[in-house]
């Protein structure tokens, strides 16, 4: 099993660890200390070595941070985690704080009215984060002070940094050689008048060099740093234990391999201007350049947009991966339907789904810990079942089943909501509203140049009509055998990057009623050029989506009377495509189940 079900942190461990950190703060002369859920590479997922927020507080969500003062400790979480955080932290010692509604600068002003010094690890914060916080603290008497990591000082049994091997990724799967990418991005730097760019995002480095790694659970990326030079050469800073002869042969003469401890001296020896992404580069890197007098310029990581625009080979691979994964999911859905209520637990479903994905012979890892939230657990958008929380699935429950696989040709992520027994009317009505939003996004056509923030409301509108909503984005970008959450594109109010052909995004509206049930329906989509419709304006440049994911949407939860003719037609076409594309891959029992599950409305 890739997924385990052990508790990774416990609330009772928080108070003594908090006391250790406060002692270290006192020794360092600090009135506060910032503890993010981040590593030096600013990825969403962190290795066990870097899981400082979870170690200190017990909170294991994928986003959040803690501000520790001598008399207060706030754990800042967004709407996805406000139920989860209450169960995972000792609320007598840690106070959950609604973020981003409450800004950290405002919270610090309220709790340090007399001013003070707040420390932070410059490896774990970006210039944008620190500048934003300093702007909010202006005139407060509160100063931010870079320091070594105080959590690392007191974490006696901290796991060692990961040393997963770095391996080549075939150019035929990537659709472009790394030499061509280096040349293309080097020319981009020359055109901008920049001598070099610093790369710290693991998936950017993996994409650029056509390599993969295993330093982050569920994400096949290596921990490394890189400096891309305008002449197309690159210096890669990685631990020697990660590098073998096959990688050396793959990288060739254009890539110079250097140890990680050479990164700082290399930065200080650069001739500027050097391009830095203020949203992802560590503050530490900025300090190295500034101390050496190296000119720098802010600019987006040059890999982000080229990586997001998938090649034809990557799109073809993703299609194949989703058909393989959809067949595995259908086998599990057929099995699930055959079980009597009260005979399965959440862990049973998770293990069965992973086994089905493994049976494809192509699974390299799951793309994130599978979510199988039944009844009230379904209202936790990012619920992770453990042996302590494992629940028997009962008649009347809804089960939110959200998972995906890492395959050599693609990364998958799909969610289906399943009824157990007869669903209630409130559940069916909410599910149908979510479905209407999901169909609307799937059918969307829009003028080139719009971003995710311009489309996000399309999926929410049916819920808004009933004064309902969800506290997460409608969709995130997805990589190709890379991170399941990939930027810069997203379908969300925060999605400011224009959608372009080749970008893959999720489409996952939902609804969550705390203590009762959750609903989410998710497919992955790829942006493509749209043909002009009959009677349309031929001069208008439009984009649309192609659906990549195929598995039935449970008709027992649909109030068909709430769907209009276009929505019904879309769903019937989608289910026909599921039969045609997935059916031939299934065993007899699952094929019969699929035929019944995809009958026209």
pLDDT of residue 536: 86
Q: Is the torsion defined by CA of 50, 54, 60, 65 positive or negative?
A: negative
Considering only the C-alpha atoms of the chain, give the largest distance between any 2 of them, rounded to a whole number of Å: 73
* Cβ neighbours of residue 390 closer than 8 Å, sequence gap 6 or more: 5, 345, 346, 347
Instruction: List, for residues 232-245, the tens digit of each pLDDT value.
Output: 999 999 999 999 99
Burial 376-402 (b: 16+ CB within 10 A, else e): bbbbbbbbbbeeebbbebeeebbbbbb
pLDDT of residue 543: 98
- Report residue 539's pLDDT band, with 50, 70 and 90 as the boundaries: confident
pLDDT of residue 10: 82
- Report residue 84's pLDDT band, with 50, 70 and 90 as the boundaries: confident
Cβ pair 318, 310 in contact under 8 A: yes
User: Which residue, 183, 178, 165, is CA-closest to 250?
Assistant: 178
Q: Is the torsion defined by CA of 299, 305, 306, 307 positive or negative?
A: positive
* Cβ neighbours of residue 562 closer than 8 Å, sequence gap 6 or more: 429, 432, 433, 436
pLDDT of residue 580: 98
Examine the pLDDT at 44 and tell me if it is beyond 80: no
The predicted model gives 30-59 an average pLDDT of 93
- Report residue 90's pLDDT band, with 50, 70 and 90 as the boundaries: confident
Q: How far apart are CA 102 and CA 425, in angstroms?
A: 36
Q: Does residue 92 or residue 44 have the better pLDDT?
A: 92
Instruction: List, for residues 108-117, the tens digit of each pLDDT value.
Output: 999 999 999 9
Q: How far apart are CA 564 and CA 437, in angstroms?
A: 12
Tell me how crowded residue 490 is: count the other CB atoms within 10 A of its CB. Answer: 25
Share above pLDDT 70 across residues of the chain, in percent, rounded to a whole number: 100
Q: What is the DSSP letter of 562?
A: G
Q: Coil, helix or strand for 497?
A: coil
Instruction: List, for residues 5-26, the tens digit of each pLDDT value.
Output: 988 778 889 899 999 999 999 9
Q: How far apart are CA 409 and CA 319, in angstroms?
A: 9
The predicted model gives 80-109 an average pLDDT of 89
Domains of the chain: which residue ranges?
11-154, 167-307, 309-532+539-590
User: Which residue, 238, 246, 250, is CA-closest to 179?
Assistant: 250
Instruction: List, for residues 246-258, the tens digit of each pLDDT value.
Output: 999 999 999 999 9
pLDDT of residue 7: 80
pLDDT of residue 32: 97
Examine the pLDDT at 83 and tell me if it is beyond 90: no
* Average pLDDT of the chain to the nearest whole number: 96
What's the pTM value of the predicted model, to 2 decimals? Answer: 0.95
- Report residue 306's pLDDT band, with 50, 70 and 90 as the boundaries: very high
The CATH classification of domain 167-307, taken from the options 3.20.140.10, 3.40.350.10, 3.40.1000.10, 3.40.367.20: 3.40.350.10
Tell me how crowded residue 61 is: count the other CB atoms within 10 A of its CB. Answer: 21
Cβ pair 199, 227 in contact under 8 A: yes
Q: What is the DSSP letter of 55?
A: H
pLDDT of residue 385: 95
pLDDT of residue 364: 97
Q: Which strand (E) or helix (H) includes residue 5? A: none
pLDDT of residue 81: 79
pLDDT of residue 45: 85
Same fold, 11-154 and 167-307: yes
Instruction: List, for residues 564-577, the tens digit of each pLDDT value.
Output: 999 999 999 999 99
Q: Is the torsion defined by CA of 376, 378, 383, 386 positive or negative?
A: positive
Examine the pLDDT at 437 and tell me if it is beyond 80: yes
pLDDT of residue 120: 98
Domain 309-532+539-590 has CATH 3.90.230.10: yes
The CATH classification of domain 11-154, taken from the options 3.10.20.740, 3.30.470.10, 3.40.350.10, 3.30.420.40: 3.40.350.10
Tell me how crowded residue 145 is: count the other CB atoms within 10 A of its CB. Answer: 16
pLDDT of residue 15: 92
Q: How far apart are CA 211 and CA 505, in angstroms?
A: 23
Instruction: Please report where in the chains the tokens 């928080």 appear, as a residue.
Output: 14
Examine the pLDDT at 372 and tell me if it is beyond 90: yes
Q: Which strand (E) or helix (H) includes residue 373? A: strand 371-374
Examine the pLDDT at 270 and tell me if it is beyond 80: yes
């Amino acid at each position: 099993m890739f997924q385990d079900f052990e508790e990774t942190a416990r609330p009772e461990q928080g108070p003594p660890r908090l006391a250790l950190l406060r002692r270290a703060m006192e020794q360092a002369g600090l009135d506060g200390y910032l503890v993010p859920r981040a590593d030096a590479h600013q990825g969403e997922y962190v290795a066990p070595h870097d899981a400082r927020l979870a170690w200190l507080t017990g909170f294991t969500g994928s986003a959040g941070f803690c501000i520790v003062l001598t008399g207060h400790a706030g754990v800042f979480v967004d709407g996805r985690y406000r139920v989860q955080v209450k169960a995972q932290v000792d609320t007598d010692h840690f106070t959950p704080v609604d973020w981003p509604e409450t800004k950290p600068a405002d919270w610090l002003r309220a709790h340090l009215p007399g001013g003070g010094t707040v420390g932070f690890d410059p490896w774990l914060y970006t210039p944008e984060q620190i500048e934003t916080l300093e702007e909010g603290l202006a005139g407060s008497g509160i100063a931010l002070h870079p320091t070594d990591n105080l959590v690392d000082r007191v974490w006696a049994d901290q796991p060692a940094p990961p040393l997963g091997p770095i391996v080549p990724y075939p150019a035929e799967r990537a659709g472009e050689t790394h030499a061509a990418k280096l040349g293309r991005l080097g020319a981009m730097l020359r055109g901008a008048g920049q001598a070099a760019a610093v790369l710290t995002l693991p998936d950017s480095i993996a994409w650029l060099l056509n390599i993969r790694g295993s330093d982050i659970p569920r994400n096949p990326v290596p921990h490394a740093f890189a400096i891309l030079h305008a002449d197309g050469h690159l210096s890669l800073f990685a631990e020697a234990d990660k590098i073998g002869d096959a990688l050396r042969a793959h990288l060739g003469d254009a890539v110079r391999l250097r140890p990680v401890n050479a990164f700082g001296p290399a930065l200080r020896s650069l001739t500027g201007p050097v391009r830095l992404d203020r949203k992802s580069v560590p503050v530490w890197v900025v300090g190295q350049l500034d101390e050496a007098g190296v000119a720098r310029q802010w600019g987006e990581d040059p890999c982000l947009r080229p990586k997001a625009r998938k090649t034809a080979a990557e799109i073809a691979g993703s299609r194949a991966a989703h058909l393989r994964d959809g067949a595995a999911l259908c086998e599990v859905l057929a099995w699930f339907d055959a079980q009597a209520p009260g005979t399965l637990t959440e862990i049973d479903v998770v293990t069965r789904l992973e086994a089905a994905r493994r049976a494809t012979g192509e699974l390299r890892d799951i793309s994130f810990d599978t979510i199988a939230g039944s009844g009230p657990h379904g209202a936790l958008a990012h619920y992770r079942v453990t042996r302590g929380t494992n629940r028997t699935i009962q008649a009347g429950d809804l089960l939110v089943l959200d998972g995906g696989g890492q395959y050599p040709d693609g990364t998958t992520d799909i969610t289906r909501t399943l009824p157990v027994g007869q669903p209630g009317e409130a559940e069916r009505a909410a599910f149908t509203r979510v479905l209407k939003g999901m169909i609307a996004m799937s059918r969307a056509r829009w003028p080139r140049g719009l971003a995710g923030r311009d489309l996000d409301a399309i999926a929410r509108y049916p819920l808004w009509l009933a004064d309902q909503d969800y506290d997460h984005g409608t969709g995130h970008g997805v990589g190709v055998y890379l991170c399941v959450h990939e930027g810069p594109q997203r379908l969300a109010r925060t999605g400011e990057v224009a959608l372009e052909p080749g970008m893959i995004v999720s489409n996952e509206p939902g609804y969550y009623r705390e203590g009762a049930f959750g609903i989410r329906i998710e497919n992955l989509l790829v942006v493509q050029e749209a043909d002009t419709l009959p009677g349309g304006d031929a001069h208008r440049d439009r984009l649309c989506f192609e659906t990549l994911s195929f598995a039935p949407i449970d008709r027992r939860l649909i109030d068909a009377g709430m769907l209009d003719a276009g929505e019904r037609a879309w769903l019937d076409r989608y289910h026909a495509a599921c039969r045609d594309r997935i059916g031939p891959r299934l065993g007899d029992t699952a094929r019969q189940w699929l035929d019944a599950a995809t009958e026209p409305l």
